[in-house]
């Protein structure tokens, strides 16, 4: 959680809809709704694979270089590829300028993202190589690590790296006692809990799981289920984004 900055705004409004009380969030979303999500594959010409992912105002670009010769040589492993992962925030991506030097937070997130990707990349097919995965947060509005992992897995697919499944991520939060999907920065700042989750949805595997904050056992189980549903929607959007780039459109009429 980002730490409380300033006065706490009203983040949840209770409204009557069709005779039922529903929690409405500060941006008008219902608890189980994602922000508008946009994905584009193959956005950088130099990279072997790349993707741009937006969760609302959060915008992350990911690029993959490799599999390529391991430099320096001594980092190479004889039986598999080495994954090198960097999650990084642009200095202008946040309200206050963020130092471009890697922070402890970025070191930790680079690690948990790499470990999540290790579980899907078929690294044993590329011995003695490295696969470099770079993620840059261009604009931060909460959920950057999960948007980054979603982008990274699209970039890996775009690079043609063999994978068991795509990886999609989303953060669930507890805001004013309500479990909400895909929390943004304001919600995160005042949340009682923030739980980023990433899964290989086709395999039903949990690859990244963190909890910052406090939940009861039952809230955790409900939060995880909320995340899973969001992840399935993001997974569908990922496959669509890949199809947009790779599926050749049926030739219309002319038959060329």
Partner 1 sequence: MSLTPSSQPVMPKLKRYTMETLLRRGVRLDGRRLGDVRSIEIVPGYVERAEGSALVRLGETVVLAGVKTDIVAPFPDTPNEGVLVVHAEFVPLASPTFEPGPPDENAIELARVIDRSLREIRAVALDKLVLEPGKHVWRLYVDIYVLNHDGNLFDASALAAMAALLSARIPAAVRTEDGGYRVDRSRYTMLVPVNHRVVTVTQAKISDRLLVDPTYEEEQVADTRLVVAVSEDGRIAGMQKTGAGYLGYEEVVKAVDTALRVAPVYFEALRRYVDPFREKLARQLEEQPRAPAEAEPAAVAAQRRVEEEPVEEPVVEQLEEMEEGERG
User: Under the rule (CB under 8 A), what is the footprint of partner 1?
Assistant: 1, 3-6, 75, 77, 80-86, 104-105, 107-108, 110-115, 118-119, 123, 193, 195, 199-200, 203-217, 220-221, 224, 228
Task: Report in angstroms how near the CB of residue 214 gets to partner 1 at its nearest.
Answer: 5
Q: How far is CA 250 from CA 77, 193, 255, 256, in A?
A: 43, 47, 9, 10
82 vs 157, beta carbon nearer partner 1: 82
224: its two tokens:
């995880």
Task: Report in angstroms how near the CB of residue 98 gets to partner 1 at its nearest.
Answer: 16
- Residues contacting residue 120 through CB under 8 Å, at least 6 positions apart: 153, 163, 164, 165, 166, 167, 200, 207
Task: Report in angstroms how near the CB of residue 246 gets to partner 1 at its nearest.
Answer: 26
Task: Report in angstroms how near the CB of residue 85 gets to partner 1 at its nearest.
Answer: 5
11 vs 152, beta carbon nearer partner 1: 152
H-run or E-run covering 104: helix 104-118
Task: Report in angstroms how near the CB of residue 28 gets to partner 1 at its nearest.
Answer: 27
C-alpha to C-alpha distance for 193 and 211, rounded to whole angstroms = 7
Length of the chain equals 256
Task: Report in angstroms how near the CB of residue 216 gets to partner 1 at its nearest.
Answer: 6
112 vs 157, beta carbon nearer partner 1: 112
Quote the DSSP letter at residue 172: E
C-alpha to C-alpha distance for 168 and 233, rounded to whole angstroms = 9
C-alpha to C-alpha distance for 238 and 40, rounded to whole angstroms = 9
Quote the DSSP letter at residue 166: -
Give SS3 for 94: coil
217 vs 249, beta carbon nearer partner 1: 217
- Give me the residue label for tokens 């008008």: 28
C-alpha to C-alpha distance for 134 and 50, rounded to whole angstroms = 9
C-alpha to C-alpha distance for 46 and 163, rounded to whole angstroms = 22
205 vs 245, beta carbon nearer partner 1: 205
H-run or E-run covering 64: strand 58-69
Task: Report in angstroms how near the CB of residue 4 gets to partner 1 at its nearest.
Answer: 6
1 vs 24, beta carbon nearer partner 1: 1
C-alpha to C-alpha distance for 209 and 170, rounded to whole angstroms = 10
178 vs 206, beta carbon nearer partner 1: 206
């Amino acid at each position: 959680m980002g730490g409380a900055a300033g006065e706490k705004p009203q983040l949840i409004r209770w409204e009557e809809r069709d005779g039922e009380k529903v929690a409405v969030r500060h941006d008008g979303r219902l608890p189980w709704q994602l922000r508008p999500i946009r994905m584009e594959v193959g956005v950088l010409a130099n990279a072997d694979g790349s993707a741009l992912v937006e969760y609302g105002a959060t915008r992350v670009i990911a690029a993959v270089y490799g599999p390529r010769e391991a430099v320096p040589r001594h980092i190479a492993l004889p039986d598999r590829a080495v994954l090198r992962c960097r999650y990084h925030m642009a200095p202008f991506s946040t309200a206050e300028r963020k130092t471009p030097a890697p922070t402890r937070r970025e070191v930790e997130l680079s690690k948990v993202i790499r470990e999540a990707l290790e579980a899907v990349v078929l690294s044993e097919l590329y011995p003695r190589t490295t696969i470099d995965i770079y993620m840059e947060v261009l604009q931060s509005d909460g959920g950057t690590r999960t948007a980054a992992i979603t982008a990274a897995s699209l970039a890996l697919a775009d690079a043609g790296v063999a994978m068991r499944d795509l990886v999609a991520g989303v953060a669930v939060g507890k805001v004013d006692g309500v479990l909400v999907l895909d929390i943004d920065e304001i919600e995160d700042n005042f949340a009682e809990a923030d739980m980023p989750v990433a899964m290989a949805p086709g395999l039903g595997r949990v690859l990244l799981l963190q909890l910052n904050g406090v939940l009861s056992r039952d809230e955790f189980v409900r939060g995880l289920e909320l995340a899973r549903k969001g992840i399935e929607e993001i997974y569908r959007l990922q496959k669509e984004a890949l199809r947009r780039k790779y599926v050749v459109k049926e030739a219309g009429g002319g038959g060329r």
